[in-house]
Amino acid sequence: MSNNNGILPAGRQIVVSGVRPTGNLHLGNYFGALRNYVKMQNEYDCYFFIADLHSLTTHPDTKELKENVLHVASEYMACGLDPNKVVLYCQSDLPQTTELYLFLNMMAYKGELEKTTTFKDKVRLQPENVNAGLLTYPVLMAADIMIHRAQLVPVGKDQEQHLEMTRTFANRFNHRYGDVFPEPRAFNFGEQLLKVPSLDGAGKMSKSENQYATIYLSDDDDLIRKKIMKAKTDSGPTEPNSLKPDYIENVFNLMKLVSQQDIIDKFEADYDNCNIRYGDLKKQLAEDMVNYIAPIRQKARDIRANEAELNIILKVGAQKAAESADKTISAVREAIGLKYF
Ligand code: TRP
């Protein structure tokens, strides 16, 4: 296989990705990432984890941590991730990651860490808590990826720099101590990677920005309706076949995710004929969105309600993750020269 430096036996490629348990999953996560994870689970050896340790860099208060971790795990499974096909675990249940993090910290330089975009952003956002964990966030992320010697990491654009740093650390390690790690690269589905527009016509849906412009998988039916009815529109085109302004294009794009083709065609034709009624369009979109999300939300609730079962899933996930992690740690210790007996 070309991109594993010949370090790993040929076989299925290894995929790793993580999500911080700091907020609900939204439609952007669903169409942008989760649906692709679900596709990957049949073709790759996938490790998906909940990055609870990373969340400590920004959320020192842990009162809601456990609930958030279980919530994310439930939503992942409700979206179709099957714990029998992927290794689903919680980051803090795999202490091998933190051991590798320590080794990698010895080859991560203060200067390069300080230059990381996400670090600079966080310094601005939380000047009262610029902790060393925040500075070494990319090192922990590299450890997450390298602990399974992953080749493929499905992440969004905002994580590219971290991935670049992971490659740097992997190469540095190999150079210093001998080949242990492949070079991981970003994995996305190219054109299939959907960007879900936000409802206020500005950018895409995101966890942190305008909450009313983002639809969460946990939103109840009425909230979904309310958010959609508030989506930005105008009084409609005055010239036949006009170009759509961005915010109108966005609403149509949302329709394309959840509505039937004939319904979309009808509203497209109304638009082109200048007799579109955005109130009707939004009502239709709201119902189609409700019908799309309600079963996922219900499934997540059902999974979350069976906590004993959920605990077993995460425990078995951690055990499976440990099998792969132990092999890496053993190779790492050997390469560094930390085997005394
Ligand atoms: N930093 C990622 C984010 O904020 C989460 C993450 C942590 C991650 N470790 C990872 C993603 C390893 C991919 C691989 O979204």
- Domains in the chain (CATH in brackets) are 14-187+306-336 (3.40.50.620), 211-299 (1.10.240.10)
Atom of ligand 1 at shortest range from CA of 19: 5
Give the residue-averaged pLDDT of 225-238: 95
pLDDT in tens, 104-127: 999 999 999 999 999 999 999 999
| Count of beta carbons in the 10 Å neighbourhood of residue 9 | 7
Give the residue-averaged pLDDT of 48-65: 97
| pLDDT recorded at residue 7 | 56
Is pLDDT above 80 for 129? yes
Which of the residues 39, 63, 120, 204 is marked catalytic? Answer: 204
Which of the residues 195, 207, 283, 320 is marked catalytic? Answer: 207
Query: Which stretches within the chain are classed as H helix?
Result: 27-29, 35-40, 52-55, 65-78, 95-105, 110-114, 117-125, 132-135, 137-146, 160-177, 221-229, 246-258, 261-272, 278-305, 307-336
pLDDT in tens, 139-195: 999 999 999 999 999 988 889 999 999 999 999 999 999 999 999 999 976 655 567
Ligand 1: centre distance to CA 165 (Å): 13
143 lines ligand 1 (CB under 6 A): no
- Please choose from 22, 54, 206 the residue to mutate so as to test ligand 1's pocket, defined by most ligand atoms within 8 A of CB: 54
| Count of beta carbons in the 10 Å neighbourhood of residue 176 | 11
Atom of ligand 1 at shortest range from CA of 150: 14
Atom of ligand 1 at shortest range from CA of 156: 15
Q: Is 207 among the residues known to form the active site? A: yes
- Please choose from 15, 17, 47, 87 the residue to mutate so as to test ligand 1's pocket, defined by most ligand atoms within 8 A of CB: 17
| pLDDT recorded at residue 8 | 54
144 lines ligand 1 (CB under 6 A): yes
For ligand 1, atom 3: residue with the closest CA: 19
Determine which helix (DSSP H) or strand (DSSP E) holds 17, and give its type and residue range.
Answer: strand 14-19
